């Protein structure tokens, strides 16, 4: 196996994510368990491209042996319940990529990248019965902090991870991140000659973290 490699999702990745997650078993512990339509992933990819452009972090596409396996990365927890506004480490893979250490390696790389960008704390929100994702969180050094109830009544554990200091990702080599591409570049968006320079926030001054996401493992 080569990879996993993380990259900013492309427009075409919406179809790939949709196909991978068109599986009741994959969605079993995600929200209400509903399998989403393709349009949902079109919007999700667009939001991740915006996050990547303005913050250098997002839910990245995870590529294994040249094939998109799912996503992993950092995004804001935007639900009105739980740790609203906190940055969450999230991941989700297609079923055939389970059990190979892909999720742990991919999320660890994303967590290191967040730490290198001076993020001081992350959470992960995991359904209480999702033993595989609980195991990934513990391998990352996360500890359970509290238990919430989702709007559907499901018990959801909040795991947390605090950093003492930034990490130099150049010293970590288990996963290649952004091969040949700067971290903050969204590949499907092209700038014109007359476009203003990129800024660390939106043109209206609002925070790029305040987006609608709500995706977990």
Q: Is 184 within the bounds of a domain?
A: no
- The pLDDT, as a whole number, for residue 189 is 45
- The pLDDT, as a whole number, for residue 192 is 43
Q: What is the CATH number of the domain that holds 88?
A: 3.40.630.30
Q: Is 197 within the bounds of a domain?
A: no
Q: What is the pTM of this model?
A: 0.79
* Structural domain span for residue 66: 5-172
- The pLDDT, as a whole number, for residue 1 is 76
Site of tokens 């010293």 = 171
Tokens, residue 62: 């995870």
- The pLDDT, as a whole number, for residue 54 is 94
Q: How many domains does the chain have?
A: 1
Q: Is 188 within the bounds of a domain?
A: no
CB 64 within 8 A of CB 4: yes
Neighbours of 43 (CB within 10 A): 14
Tokens, residue 52: 């990547």
Q: What are phi and psi of 131, to 5 degrees?
A: -60, -35
Q: What are the per-10-residue average pLDDT scores of the chain (217 residues)?
A: 90 98 96 93 98 96 97 95 95 97 97 95 97 97 96 95 69 42 41 41 45 41
- The pLDDT, as a whole number, for residue 184 is 40
């Amino acid at each position: 196996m080569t990879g996993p490699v993380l990259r900013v999702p492309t427009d075409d990745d919406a179809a790939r994510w949709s196909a991978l997650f068109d599986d009741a078993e994959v969605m079993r512990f995600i929200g209400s368990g509903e399998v989403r339509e393709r349009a949902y992933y079109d919007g999700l990819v667009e939001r991740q491209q915006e996050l990547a452009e303005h913050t250098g972090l997002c839910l990245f596409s995870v590529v294994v042996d040249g094939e998109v396996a799912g996503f992993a990365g950092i995004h804001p927890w935007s639900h009105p319940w739980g740790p609203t506004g906190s940055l969450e480490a999230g991941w989700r893979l297609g079923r055939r990529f389970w059990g190979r250490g892909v999720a742990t390696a991919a999320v660890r790389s994303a967590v290191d990248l967040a730490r290198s960008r001076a993020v001081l704390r992350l959470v992960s929100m995991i359904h209480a019965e999702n033993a595989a994702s609980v195991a990934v969180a513990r391998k990352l050094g996360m500890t359970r902090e509290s238990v919430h109830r989702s709007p559907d009544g499901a018990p959801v554990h909040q795991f947390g991870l605090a950093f003492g200091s930034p990490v130099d990702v150049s010293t970590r080599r288990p996963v290649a991140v952004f091969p040949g591409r700067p971290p903050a570049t969204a590949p499907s968006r092209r700038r014109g000659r007359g476009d203003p320079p990129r800024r660390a926030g939106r043109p209206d001054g609002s925070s790029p973290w305040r987006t609608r996401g709500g995706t977990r493992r």
